[in-house]
Amino acid sequence: MKEGKYIWMDGKFVKWHDAKIHVLTHALHYGGSVYEGMRIYPVKEGRKTVATVFRLDDHLDRFLNSMKGIEMKPKYSKKQLRDIVTKLVKKNGIKDGYIRPIAFYGYERLGIYWGGLPVSVSIAALPWGAYLPNEMKMKISKWRRLSPDSVKIEAKVGAYYVNSNYATESVKGLADEALLLDQNGNLAEASCANIFFVKGKTLYTPKKGSILPGLTRDSLIELAKSFGLKVVEKVIKPSEIFGFDEAFTTGTATEVTAVTLIDGRKIGNGKMGDVTAVLRDGFSDLVRGLNPVMNKKYKNWFHKIY
Ligand code: PMP
């Protein structure tokens, strides 16, 4: 991991290595935390390159909603969080990077219940490039995605990532990424990304209910529509996978990544498909301000910093 210079912690900018917490923090023992991940892109504006956070307001909305999901009273408003991110990115001098806000229950007593515990909020910003290869192999994990009967699935709660870890561990050495089924045995998502399939000029993606509704998923749907593609959100059974021509995943960290093989079987011809390639490049252009139509239509997706 590349380090940033400063981390914002409960009202102060502290040096990267001074961002410490107590060992009895609730989040460490019982997972009482919610977090976000967003990207800073260098966006070309004439001769200048402007550090721009992609979909900052939407990530902050999800952050605040995730807090509600764990009974956490927000200590900072969206406007305050937006201002902190702006200052932090500038202070760290980052143009191409990643931002990690986290809100967590802290240290007071040892009981499991989080009600009334002190809340801490911290935001880190660091330089960060590509995460996974452009193409990857997936394997269906033996572990099912957490059920919406067990947790509030649309909140981004730290503890849920135990499920992502089990899934990742179960495919280690066999594939690059895990594909998780939901509690009914239908496709849900990857360990920390959403999944799409392509058939002709139509995209198919698992509907909301058992997935984290990704913001990249949402951006990709809008981008695909602008390219004249049709998008269908529906229940997808594992038996349908090999009837599709192409597959790819979407996520802030991994952006758009082609899936060439699932459970050892080729998707289409086993190479990145044409539609995937167009969307992958299209997404890369969009976030860098190189898609004039979408950049104008979705002006509020771009939070320019410096
Ligand atoms: N699903 C899960 C479980 C995730 O953790 C993520 C990453 N936040 C995603 C999907 C993709 O969401 P986004 O596009 O908002 O990064």
199 is catalytic: no
- Is 37 close to ligand 1, i.e. is its CB under 6 Å away? yes
The predicted-structure confidence for 222-268, as pLDDT tens digits, reads as follows: 999 999 999 999 999 999 999 999 999 999 998 999 999 999 999 99
Cα 109 to Cα 30, 221, 222, distances in angstroms: 12, 45, 46
Q: How far, in Å, is the centroid of ligand 1 from the Cα of 256?
A: 12
Question: Which ligand 1 atom sits closest to the C-alpha of 250?
Answer: 14
Most ligand 1 atoms within 8 A of CB, residue of 143, 252, 256 to mutate: 252
Q: Does the model's pTM come out above 0.95?
A: yes
Give percent of the chain with pLDDT exceeding 70. Answer: 98
pLDDT at 196: 98
pLDDT (average), residues 272-282: 97
Distance CA 274, CA 115 (A): 51
Q: How far, in Å, is the centroid of ligand 1 from the Cα of 7?
A: 23
The residues that bridge with 262 in the sheet, in sequence order, are 138, 265
Residue 190 near residue 141, CB atoms below 8 Å: no
pLDDT (average), residues 176-199: 98
Q: How far, in Å, is the centroid of ligand 1 from the Cα of 96?
A: 19
pLDDT band at 132 (very low <50, low <70, confident <90, very high): low
Q: Take atom 5 of ligand 1 and give the residue whose Cα is closest.
A: 192
pLDDT at 43: 94
pLDDT at 130: 58
Q: Take atom 13 of ligand 1 and give the residue whose Cα is closest.
A: 214
pLDDT band at 46 (very low <50, low <70, confident <90, very high): confident
pLDDT (average), residues 175-181: 97
